[in-house]
């Protein structure tokens, strides 16, 4: 036999397994989440499984694995794990449902409401991680506004690097791209601000201003974005 024939025979079991996987019925929980992306490609966009051009068997196994991990994390009350088992577009909702809670009108409780509780540090860390990892803030602007409301000047809610924050001056120079994301995420780095003027292929204005340190309700540095979180009305814009 030729080398090409040997290679085909070697690959045959994997190809047959792939065909069997594709012929497997998709789990009923996943079927309603079949959709097309912006390029017209089929994908599954379930809270626990995001899969582009899915192979049914693989998606089913991924879903079963996520369900098992979710049940285990819930039983252990490992809420950070619970939230991050959800795919990124659904993490804000998971954060509210499993960590913060909701008012009767479905709006989320604010992080500030946990300020004087034993849970504040853990809840704050989870909120900060979800915020930092989010790529869809614009889809949850009202939720994030509610989550971060109630800040008392001088008492930050989200602090990723307290020593670095302490070194910042009382009057902080900040930059941002003028994105439709609530307007409260700024950076002490002009380069980071300029990056976000081009974010997601846009052409956004570069905003520049100063803010009094006491109005800052979060300072996050985990992605080297030197992110200052402050309500836009507290920023004195400069030309």
Q: Looking at the domain assignment, is residue 164 inside a domain?
A: yes
- pLDDT over 90, % of the chain: 72
From 14, 42, 75, the end of a domain falls on: 75
Cα–Cα dist 85/94, whole Å = 9
Tokens found for residue 185: 């995420």
Q: Give me the chain's average pLDDT, please.
A: 89
Is 16 a domain residue? no
238 in a structural domain: yes
pLDDT digits (tens, 9 = 90+) for 13-42: 554 566 666 778 999 999 999 999 888 899
Could you tell me if residue 112 is inside a domain?
A: no
DSSP readout, the chain? Answer: --HHHHHHHHHHHHHHHHHHHHHSPPPTTTGGGEEE-TTS-EEEE-SS-EEES--HHHHHHHHHHHHHHHHHHHHTT-HHHHHHHS-GGGHHHHHIIIII-B-TTSPBPPGGGGTTSTTHHHHHHHHHHHHHH-S-GGGSHHHHHHHT--PPTT--SEES-HHHHHHS-SEEEEEEE--SS-S-EEES-HHHHHHHHSGGG--PPEEEEEEEGGG--EEE-TTS--EEE--GGGEEE--
Question: 68-72, 100-104, 131-135: lowest mean pLDDT where?
Answer: 131-135
- 209-226: average pLDDT: 94
Domain closes at, from 43, 75, 107:
75
Instruction: Check whether 11 has a pLDDT greater than 90.
Output: no
Q: CB of 96 within 8 A of CB of 102?
A: yes
Q: What is the pLDDT of residue 15?
A: 46
In this structure, of 89-93, 167-171, 202-206, 210-214, the range with the lowest mean pLDDT score is: 202-206
Distances (CA, A) of 51 to 47, 173, 200: 11, 41, 21
* Structural domain contains residue 30: yes
Please determine, for residue 179, whether its predicted confidence score (pLDDT) is greater than 90: no
59 located within any domain: yes
Establish if 61 belongs to a structural domain: yes
pLDDT at residue 201 greater than cutoff 80: no
User: Looking at residue 135, what is its pLDDT?
Assistant: 81
Residue 138: what pLDDT? 84
pLDDT exceeds cutoff 90 at 2: no
Number of domains in the chain: 2
Q: Between the ranges 16-30, 73-87, 138-152, 190-204, where is the mean pLDDT highest? A: 73-87
pLDDT of residue 234 exceeding 90: yes
Q: Which domain holds residue 69?
A: 24-75
Q: Look at residue 7 in the predicted model and tell me its pLDDT.
A: 44
Say if 168 falls within a structural domain. yes
């Amino acid at each position: 036999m030729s080398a090409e024939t040997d290679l085909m025979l070697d690959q045959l079991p994997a190809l047959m397994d792939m065909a069997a996987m594709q012929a497997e019925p998709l789990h009923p929980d996943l079927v309603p989440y079949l959709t097309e992306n912006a390029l017209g490609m089929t994908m599954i966009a379930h809270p626990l499984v995001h899969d582009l051009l899915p192979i049914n068997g693989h998606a089913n196994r991924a879903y079963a694995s996520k369900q098992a991990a979710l049940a285990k994390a819930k039983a252990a009350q490992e809420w950070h794990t619970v939230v991050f088992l959800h795919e990124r577009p659904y993490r804000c909702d998971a954060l509210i449902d499993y960590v913060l809670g909701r008012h009767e009108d479905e709006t989320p409780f604010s992080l500030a409401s946990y300020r004087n509780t034993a849970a504040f540090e853990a809840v704050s860390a989870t909120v900060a991680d979800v915020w930092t990892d989010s790529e869809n803030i614009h889809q949850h602007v009202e939720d994030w506004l509610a989550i971060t409301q109630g800040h008392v000047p001088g008492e930050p809610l989200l602090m990723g690097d307290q020593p670095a924050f302490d070194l910042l001056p009382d009057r902080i120079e900040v930059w941002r791209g003028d994105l439709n994301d609530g307007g409260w995420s700024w950076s002490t780095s002009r380069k980071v601000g300029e990056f976000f003027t081009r974010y997601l292929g846009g052409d956004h204005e570069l905003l520049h201003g100063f803010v009094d340190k006491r109005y800052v309700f979060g300072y996050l540095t985990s992605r080297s974005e030197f992110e200052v979180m402050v309500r836009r009305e507290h920023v004195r814009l400069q030309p």
